[in-house]
Amino acid sequence: MSIVNVENVTSGYDGQKILNNVSMNAESGRITAILGASGCGKTTLLKNLIRLIDVWSGSIRLFDQEITTMDEAEFNSILRRIGVLFQNGALLNSITVAENVAIPLQQHTDLTEEIIDRLIQVKLNLVELNYASGMLPSELSGGMRKRAALARAIALDPELLFCDEPTAGLDPATSADLDKLILTLRDQLGMTVVMITHEVPSVLRIADYVVFMDRGEVLFTGSIKEAKSSGIKKIDDFFKMGTAA
């Protein structure tokens, strides 16, 4: 069953078209990787999916509901079922890691402070950051920031997790750890993950399904095996160069 359904989406910023007739799906319980070179429109697509920017035309359905025409209150109820891991973590810098993780719990649940504290510890434990709960984001390394942001993204046990370049800028070992964590989330919590990336090793490790984008258009959708045997030169080059690097 498709949880994310994008059909013929065209969008952009300030009158400049970035995405042209993009269509893709993400199946429930799978990790779908949206691949492509820098500037191909991956992050724009993510911003469309969480309505940070509006689509110019086309349809986006999340959990079988059209989100492009929803009012804010309706979309907020959809957002409660979604977690987003931003490229640079996007943790609030003025508050501690634990307070960051607490935000969705405090805002969207009526749980008591004791339960929220316990949940924060559970999420931080999951990302192996218990010891950093009282630290400010500025005191964390790049990998720790990503993991803390992941803890916040999964605070409400979302059914759908969007990750924007989760392993970009991390060393291979930290990347592998983060990938393992995403796999755990899918397997243990049954999360559907849509991951935007250009890190080929990461895709090969965890993705079930790939959407390959090029210059604002979808070039290919299918399994990794199908992608590798697609015979499309850009995809072959992408995988070759990605694994060589």
Partner 1 sequence: MRQEKAALSFHGNRIFFSGALLTWQVSRFLRDVRARLKDFRGSDIIVDLSELEEIDTAGVALINEIRQIAKRNEIECRVQNASRNIKRAMKIFSLPDIYEGEGEFKKEKYTIFEGIGDWLVSIAANIKYFFYLLSDTIFYSFNGFFKRHGMRKGEFINQSILIGMNALPIVGLISFLIGFILALQSAAQLRQFGANIYVADLVAISMTREMGPIMTAIVLAGRSGSAIASEIATMVVTEETDALKSMGLNPIRYVLVPKVYAITVSAPMLTILSMLIGIFGSLVIGITYLGIGIEPFYNEVINALILKDIITGIIKSLVFAWIIVMIGAYYGFRVKGGAENVGRVTTSSVVVSIFLVILADSLLGLFFYFGGGIGY
Site residues for partner 1 per CB under 8 A: 47, 50-52, 75-76, 79-80, 82, 84, 86-88, 90-94, 103-104, 106-108, 149, 152
Between 37 and 103, CB nearer to partner 1: 103
CB of 61 to partner 1, least distance (A): 18
DSSP 69: T
CB of 86 to partner 1, least distance (A): 5
Between 117 and 208, CB nearer to partner 1: 117
**CA separation for the pair 153, 21 (Å, rounded):** 29
CB of 230 to partner 1, least distance (A): 28
**CA separation for the pair 213, 50 (Å, rounded):** 19
Q: What angle do CA 81, 85, 89 make, to 5 degrees?
A: 140
**CA separation for the pair 128, 178 (Å, rounded):** 11
CB of 84 to partner 1, least distance (A): 4
Between 84 and 181, CB nearer to partner 1: 84
Between 108 and 205, CB nearer to partner 1: 108
> CB under 8 Å to 12, separation ≥6 — which residues?
18, 19, 44, 56
